[in-house]
Amino acid sequence: MKKTILSVSLMALASMSHAVTDLALDEECNFNGTWDQVSEGPVLCELPLSIVEDDTVVLAKEVADGDYEGEQIIWTLPGIVVVGNGNIQNADPSTVDNTVLQIEAGAQIAGAVDSASALIISRGAQIDAQGTANDPIIFSSLDAGYDGSGEWGGLVVAGFGESNACPSGAISGGQMGDVCTMEGVASAAYFGSGHLSAPNAMSSGTLEYVVIAEGGHVISDGNEINGLTLYAVSSTTTINNIHVQGNADDGVEFFGGNVGISNMWMACNEDDSVDWDLGYQGVLSNVNIKQNDGAGYGLELANNPDNANALPRSKGIVSNMSIDFVGSTAPAASGIPFDLKQGTDGMFTNVVIGAGYDSPVKCMRTDSAVTGGSHWSVIEYGCDATHAGPTAWNLPASNSSATGFTASTFWAAAPSCP
């Protein structure tokens, strides 16, 4: 039987308008998953494909009571698990489901190895994943160790924020023309503005001390999925201390929105570490990137592939970043630090490009840029700054006073790049 707990202390963990409820599933899984124990070890609890409760659902680190009380839980993804119902077309932010998926510090979420699985937080829903430096929340595949890649999908968060790929004309009911769909997930998974008056007002929750490892499995249409994908997510969302490891696609990609991230480690991802487009305007601070053999660009940054001058124009701000190539062979032309294209703007301050990218490696590739303003401030590099492309992107002289961001990751179990 479904239980609703109305204690003030539990309600405060999510918001004052939410109670903590359960999904009326198996007791061994705190009633929030289906028990799938096949051998000794952690309790395996499979999540349902849809979680729509309009309340807070807690994924705990351990079993609360019963025969397995105190045992570790691994929450497994049987496929694409969607939280909330904001993925439907023309979802109304005033009536959309507001489920909060709360993940306790130290909890683990896993996709089966070689699984087309992912966790999607749809528009209007929230994720409340607050780990700690000593007890992070870990997303990975369901096998031993964390040194794989492409073994499951990834974490996807969608918001009602702005994307320059969506039309701005109103349709009936005060809604925007809702045509932006997620790539590689499902043809009917929508994101972006659904309300004319406040497109960036709704929070998608909190990610704090979260690890996303071994992802990038092909989900649909031959598309891999990023470690962390942020679709039109608002700056009212909090994301700090994120480590993305060994993803077969990008480490993190922003499709519009203006959410920022502080303290981010992108390690050994097999395509780009950071990718933004469709009008992204957030702030990335304290960024550490390590690219390996065969990887893509360190940062692949665009405005809009179909309209380079679409508004709002992508203009992310990156401050305090260290980026280096740690592979055994020189990076290919598609594996240089910066790819700036399709009308993006951007500002970069206190950046150190490591010795793995020293000349003759090019510092960047450009195909277009907006002019005016200072794009670069205090950057140290040994790569080749000459390139074909707009003069607006030319680097200033290398500045040895740059410090970048060299702090070690909070994740003690982080593997080395293969």
pLDDT for the residue numbered 168: 56
The pLDDT of residue 213 is above 90? yes
pLDDT in tens, 235-252: 999 999 999 999 999 999
The pLDDT of residue 172 is above 90? no
Mean pLDDT over 131-150 rounds to: 96
pLDDT in tens, 327-382: 988 788 789 999 999 999 999 999 999 999 999 999 999 988 787 777 999 999 99
Band of the pLDDT at 10, cuts 50, 70, 90? very low
Band of the pLDDT at 117, cuts 50, 70, 90? very high
Task: Examine residue 360 and say whether the peptide bond preceding it is cis (omega within 30 degrees of 0).
Answer: yes
Mean pLDDT over 304-314 rounds to: 92
pLDDT for the residue numbered 184: 77
Residue 225: both structure tokens together:
């999925």
The pLDDT of residue 57 is above 60? yes
Q: How far apart are CA 51 and CA 54, in angstroms?
A: 9
The pLDDT of residue 74 is above 50? yes
Band of the pLDDT at 7, cuts 50, 70, 90? very low
**Structural domain boundaries of the chain?**
4-393
Q: How far apart are CA 282 and CA 318, in angstroms?
A: 9
pLDDT for the residue numbered 92: 86
Q: Is the pTM of this model over 0.85?
A: yes
DSSP letter string over 200-258? T----EEEEEEEEES-----BTTB---SEEEES--TTSEEEEEEEES-SS-SEEEES--
Answer with the residue of higher pLDDT: 269 or 196: 269
The pLDDT of residue 220 is above 90? no
Band of the pLDDT at 197, cuts 50, 70, 90? low
HEC secondary structure over 54-113: CCEEEECCECCCCCCCCCEEEEEECCEEEECCCCCCCCCCCCCCCCEEEECCCCEEEECC
